[in-house]
Structure 1
Amino acid sequence: MELSEHLDPAVLGLIQSEVEQTLLGGPRRYTREQVADLAGVPLERAQRLWVSMGFAIDADPDAVMFTDGDAAALRALVSFVDGGALAADAAVAATRALGQSMSRLAEWQVAVLNAHLADELAAAHSGSDAMDRDAMDEESLRAAVGTLTSQLLPTVEALQSYVWRRHLAAATARRAGSVGEDTAHRTLAVGFADMVGYTSLTRRIRVDELSSLLEEFESRTTAVIAQGGGWVIKNVGDEVMFAAEHAADAARIALALQDTTRTDPGLPDLRVGLALGPVLVRFGDLFGAVVNIAARLTTAARPGTVLVDADLAAALRKETARDGGMELRSLRPLRVRGYNRLRAFVLRPGPGTGD
């Protein structure tokens, strides 16, 4: 029987309220009109920003939904925009990107914290008899929630802030010397790596095995990409998208990804595609023809190989001319979706590089 099935709903509601107040910095006090007035923001603008972060608005205009923390955050956001730090027409898009990222992070964190609560309760129940089970459940749950809100959440929040600051410092270092330049349009090497046969594999393995496979794939690819001087753009199921400032770095990352897969029999083969050129950088994601070309090359690549486009091949010939660490072999023009004659090259390690 699940814990929620034998706990008094009123107890669960009270505990949920306590957790919510801890997370939100206080109880819900205001309607949407009241919080907009308190923040000094027109109601329509406040609602637009709230929804863009991924939160619903109650259809009842008199519903008490918002806290003092919500009002303070709304004031800070509007002050940030009105002060010129963020263009007004980009505010909704920025909050939407932030909301989507935080939503995914929160879903994962809640799963972890729920598992911790379950372990705490299981330990508290060991040795208790059935007669005092309900009382123990309520008492144990309150104690576990108290520990969670007073100790674990501040630790998670501090760690989250630390990782964010570290990534901010790394992104700043990558943009060194670009102050005043248009950083939304950049020339980058973009790559994709995806697992071969992933769809059929998911039909043959258990959910827990799939979880382990994805964890291993993401762990290994993230390490290779970061160590190689690139950065992960996003993971989508069986595929990782990454970028690098220089063609040679992207090429070495691609070869290293293939190498790490070959040495691990637990991972499927990879296909890797790379392209170089101008991209649109939008809230951490990349868009444009270069991204499409890299994706098409990944799809066209044979298992265990790396395909690159003509621009990246040309850049590699310049960047690696001195060390000869890589080889390129021209292929016949490819016919892929959106491109009838896409020039492509197979990238391989050069002689004497251990392959």
Structure 2
Amino acid sequence: MVAPEISELVQSVVESYLLDGERRYNRAEVAGRSGVSEQVSRKLWTALGFPVNPDDAVDYTDADVSAVRNFRGMNVVADSGLRQQAAAARTLGQGMARLAEWQSDLVLAEITSRVQAAIADGAVTDPQELAKIARTATEETVSVLEELQTYAWRRHLAAALARSIDGGTAEDSTRYLAVGFADMVGYTRLTRHLHPDELSMLLEAFESTTTAAITENGGWVIKNVGDEVMFAAETAAAGARIALAIQESTMMVGGTPELRVALAYGPVLQRFGDLYGSVVNMASRLTGVARPGTILIDDGAAAALDGDPEFDLRNLRSVRVRGFNRLRPHLLRPKDA
């Protein structure tokens, strides 16, 4: 372990690098320099997911001032109300926070490894030299992560723009999509008996196989939540191929629990990268009533797939689920099943 005084020095050096400067402004000064009110700056700060400190606390850097100014300077942002601005900031903050939680382990592991190696070799004992080692490790690791993150973001943005252009819709708008869910059967019971390492391997297998099935068949992942993945596709046929591929790929991975999969097709609200509406709710409810290893679809998807020689559909009895008195499921199978 690194001595406490060295840890504090390393932390200060790393923080200065990551925050792109020293803390030198309070909230009023940030507001004055960025041209927004203190109320707006506070609202955007908390929406990003950062804790609110006393207004007179010197917690902000030049980078914070530039961020507020740049964000508010975008025409689409400036023309919207504070509620919409806060919603955009909240979505950005949530996505970045999740990335940061994962990446912090990588950065810390690299810093710790280099500092401890220098101490163990006896070559470096001066706290300032150890701080330089920590700074170098941070810069090099963060640089690689930034490059990979920018690359992945630009590729995803290009794909999302292409979908939006083809669909002729914008954010906070309605478009026709196939929305599906897949979840693991018996996940809650499994978590009580699996070692954390085994649970991690199970989740990795689930996420990797479902992501591959989704992307290889023209869809995209909306989100992963524990034992469940939510996905979307432009057409019901693409959604059906994804659902079938998910079931097939999961059965090929030994030790993976059976899945329940469901799909619905129709108008959905697209908002900040997520999807909302009755179609989403129907897909979720059908997932809950599907038998392990099967795929259920709603009337909208069944109508869109009717007559398609690639799929076999079987009408099932209507079911009563939360929010829907009579929801009629259809069993989806490949034509040669």
TM-score (norm 2): 0.93
Alpha carbons of 1:83 and 1:110: their partners in 2 closer, same or farther (altered >3 Å)?
closer
- What SS does the aligned partner of 2:193 have? coil
Cα distance between partner residues in 2 of 1:223 and 1:82:
35
Aligned to 1:80: 74
Aligned to 1:335: 320
- What SS does the aligned partner of 2:57 have? coil
Cα distance between partner residues in 2 of 1:70 and 1:326:
54
Aligned to 2:63: 69
The yes-or-no answer on 1:226 pairing with 2:215 is yes
Q: How many residues align?
A: 337
- What SS does the aligned partner of 1:25 have? coil
Aligned to 2:245: 256
8 Å contact 2:270–2:276 — kept in the other structure?
A: yes
Alpha carbons of 1:261 and 1:179: their partners in 2 closer, same or farther (altered >3 Å)?
closer
Root-mean-square deviation (Å): 2.2
User: Structure 1, unaligned stretches of length 5 or more?
Assistant: none
The 5 Å alignment of 1:18-167 reads 18-59=13-54, 61-81=55-75, 84=78, 88-121=82-115, 123-124=117-118, 142=131, 144-167=133-156
Which AA in structure 2 matches 1:50? W
8 Å contact 2:107–2:138 — kept in the other structure?
A: no
Alpha carbons of 1:181 and 1:28: their partners in 2 closer, same or farther (altered >3 Å)?
closer
Give how far 1:299 is off: 0.7
Cα distance between partner residues in 2 of 1:156 and 1:25:
16
Aligned to 1:349: 334
Aligned to 2:286: 297
Which AA in structure 1 matches 2:251? R
- What SS does the aligned partner of 1:278 have? strand
Cα distance between partner residues in 2 of 1:243 and 1:236:
15
Aligned to 1:236: 225
Q: Percent identity?
A: 50
The yes-or-no answer on 1:191 pairing with 2:180 is yes
Cα-to-partner distance string for 1:5-54 (whole Å, 9 max, x where unaligned): xx133x32222111111111110000110111111111111111111101
User: Structure 2, unaligned stretches of length 5 or more?
Assistant: none
Alpha carbons of 1:188 and 1:87: their partners in 2 closer, same or farther (altered >3 Å)?
farther
Alpha carbons of 1:336 and 1:140: their partners in 2 closer, same or farther (altered >3 Å)?
farther
Give how far 1:125 is off: 5.6
Cα-to-partner distance string for 1:123-180 (whole Å, 9 max, x where unaligned): 4466x5xxx69x7595885354223222111111111111111001001111234557
Aligned to 1:8, which of 4, 13, 20?
A: 4
Alpha carbons of 1:54 and 1:258: their partners in 2 closer, same or farther (altered >3 Å)?
same
Give how far 1:84 is off: 5.0
Cα distance between partner residues in 2 of 1:19 and 1:104:
20
Which AA in structure 1 matches 2:4? D
8 Å contact 1:81–1:91 — kept in the other structure?
A: no
